[in-house]
Amino acid sequence: MKVTQAQVLAWRLRQQGLAPRTTASVEELVARPAGVQAQVLSAAELAPSVGQKKPRPDAAAQALAARFLIRTCARRGTLHLLPAEEMPAYLALLAAARTWEKPSWQRGFGVAPRQMAALGEAVDAI
């Protein structure tokens, strides 16, 4: 199958809810690209609202407060907004990567693998 650059760009704009603008919820717009970068919460607010026909101020913050979205370290060591209902899948992928075993992760977070194992055991016990 051959596709043109214009077709690829149009597909990306549709996937991100940018063209045409949509009535999709902030949760849907966060889910489409598999999360929204959220190091700066105001930027995370803006990202999904750009594609909405009628954006609501603080929609992402409200979705976070209602626990429809979660702000967590998802990939590349940065904070992202993710849909709460999809967290089991994201957590499974993160666990499979075992990033806590990498020396750079251990230096950056100051946590040893044995401490992570103890944390996992404590969570299992709850």
Name the percent of the chain lying above pLDDT 70: 100
Boundaries of every domain in the chain: 5-125
Q: Evaluate whether 69 touches 63 at the Cβ level (below 8 Å).
A: yes
Q: Evaluate whether 74 touches 89 at the Cβ level (below 8 Å).
A: no
| pLDDT tens column, 16-72 | 778 888 898 999 999 988 899 999 988 889 988 888 999 998 999 999 999 999 998
Closest CA to 36 of 88, 87, 10, 72: 72
Rama region for 58: left / alpha / beta (φ>0; ψ in -120 to 50; rest): left
pLDDT of residue 71: 94
| pLDDT tens column, 91-108 | 888 888 888 888 988 898
Q: Is pLDDT at 81 greater than 90 in this prediction?
A: yes
Alpha-carbon dihedral 50, 31, 40, 111, rounded to 10 degrees: -170
Q: Is pLDDT at 10 greater than 80 in this prediction?
A: yes
